[in-house]
Each structure stands twice: as structure tokens, then as C-alpha cells.
Amino acid sequence: MTLALPAASSSSSWRQPSILPGFGLSLGITISALSLVVLIPLAALFLKAASAGPADIWAIIASPRTQAALRLSFGAAAFSAIVNAIFGLIIAWVLVRYRFPGRRLLDAAVDLPFALPTAVAGISLAAIYAPNGWIGSLLAPFDIKVAYTPLGVMVALIFIGLPFVVRTVQPVLEEADIETEEAAALLGASRLRTIFRVILPGIVPALLTGFVLAFARAVGEYGSVIFIAGNVPMVSEIAPLLIVIRLEQFDYAGASVVAMIMLIVSFSLILAINAIQAWSRGRLGHV
């Protein structure tokens, strides 16, 4: 005699009990907080920019001054993020893999751009890299000008973005399995091959994350840049400064248009980089 088991309901096949309770409440709080802090202000920005009208929006976008400011902001941000990715990786490697006198002091100094007010950083950089400054006076004989030029913008953005890469890559290096490197060396792999085939693939996602954070921070930087940039229109004027100038002229719609352009371009670039990061993680998981 066989016993017939009751058929499971169709809903039980897709409804899985949650391991942690309170998902509905947590999701509601998350969406509410995200809406209040991010989504609603951004929606207000787009509405204010739309109030300028299509003709005025296009005139602001096509303005040579706006385009020059956007090129400088995004170009300097991308360059500084690349430089920070290279040197941030080296600094994180040194802090994790080596022990030397003053290591803790150097580790703490990495966080100084986080704690230092941006205006103080800008004034300090301008004083150091000015033609009569400590470093500027050494570069003057070679006709290299840093302060009050686009190069000064890049220096300021490198300064404020470096900690993002170091603090993102450092924990990954600390958790890396050194035995894998030792196994690669025992199998005859050279040091250079071990770095590119064993070490780097594991830290590429973290390195890309640090790059994105440094880039996003640099695009909107204002305080540390205006003191060293020179703020010359069409030469060393950044987009955030252009927004402030329009606000001082009570052109709120025009300022919102420039901010909207920066937001769209920044979000598109970050979305593309995140897609590359997800692809690299998926590829690493199949290795």
C-alpha cells in the first residue's frame, strides 16, 4: 500500500523563506532613505534644468566656455584617477608586504587628504607649486609651471583621490593568499609573471573600485582646485567653478544645466566602469 503525499502548492516552489527576518522593513527604510538623500534632490535638479527650456539648454551645452570647463574637469579627473590607481597600488603593496621604521606613520599620512579641509589643501598646494614655492622654484628653470595651470588642477585632484585607491586595495592585499605566490614560484614562474598572472587578477576588482571612487571624487572637487587652478576661462576653469559663477549671477537654471550635464556624463562613465568591473569579477570566478 502506497501513501500519497500531498502535492506542494505552486506558491511554495518560488517562495523561499528568508534567512534573516525583516526584509520588507529593511527594504522600505532603504528606499526611503535613498529617495530622500539621492533620488529626490536629483529629480529636483533635472526639473530645475528643464525649466530653462530646450533652446537655452542647448545654448549652454554648446557654449565654448562650458565645453572647455567640462573637458578640463573630466580629463583631469580621468588622468588623476589613472595616476592614483598606479601609485595607490604601489603604496598599498609597500604598506602591506614590507615592515620598516615609520610604516605606521606613513600609513596614517595616507588619510590626511580625508581629514584636511579642501581649502587648506588648495592653499598649501598653491604655495608649494607656485613659481616662488619650494617645488615650483625647482621647476621654474625647466619652464614647467604647475600652479595656476591645468597641471595644477591635476596635482590637486591626485592629492585628494589617492586615499580612495590605497584604502580600497589595501584590505584585499592583506587577505591575499601568499601560499599561492609561493606555489607559483615553486612551479618556476618568474616574479614578473607571478605579479601579472597570480597577484593582479585578484585585486583588479578592488583596483577598479578605487579608480571609480577617485574619479567620482575628482570630478566634483572644488575647494582644493580653485586655489591652484588660476580659474582662467577656457584655460583652467573647472565645471564646478562655472556652476558657482552662474549661481552668483542668480542664473539657477543655467547652473542646474551644467550640473545636469556633469551628472549624466559622470553616471554614464561610472556605469561603464562598473560593468567592466562586474565582467572582470565574473571572468575571475570562472578561472
* 281/100: higher pLDDT: 100
Q: Using the predicted structure, report yes or no on whether residue 9 has a pLDDT greater than 60.
A: no
**Residue 171 belongs to some domain of the structure:** yes
- 189 backbone φψ class: left, alpha, beta (φ>0; ψ -120 to 50): beta
> Residue 178: pLDDT band by 50, 70, 90 thresholds?
confident
Residues in the chain: 287
Q: Which of 9-18, 74-83, 147-156 is least confident? A: 9-18
**Residue 178 belongs to some domain of the structure:** yes
**Residue 43 belongs to some domain of the structure:** no
* Residue 12, pLDDT score: 45
> Residue 1: pLDDT band by 50, 70, 90 thresholds?
very low
Q: Using the predicted structure, report yes or no on whether residue 197 has a pLDDT greater than 80.
A: no
* Residue 162, pLDDT score: 94
Number of domains into which the chain is organized: 1
Of 211, 73, 92, whose CA–CA distance to 153 is shortest? Answer: 73
Of 63, 40, 20, 84, whose CA–CA distance to 221 is shortest? Answer: 84
**Residue 110 belongs to some domain of the structure:** yes
**Residue 17 belongs to some domain of the structure:** no
Which element (helix H / strand E) includes 148?
Answer: none
Q: Please give the Cα distance from 151 to 154 (Å, whole number).
A: 5
pTM exceeds 0.75: yes
* Residue 10, pLDDT score: 46
Q: Please give the Cα distance from 71 to 55 (Å, whole number).
A: 22
Q: Please give the Cα distance from 116 to 114 (Å, whole number).
A: 6
Looking up residue 81, the CATH number of its domain turns out to be 1.10.3720.10
* 200/96: higher pLDDT: 96
**Residue 9 belongs to some domain of the structure:** no
Best mean pLDDT range from 110-119, 158-167, 261-270: 158-167
Angle at 191 between CA 190 and CA 194, to 5 degrees: 85
- Domain containing residue 163: 70-285
**Residue 86 belongs to some domain of the structure:** yes
**Residue 19 belongs to some domain of the structure:** no
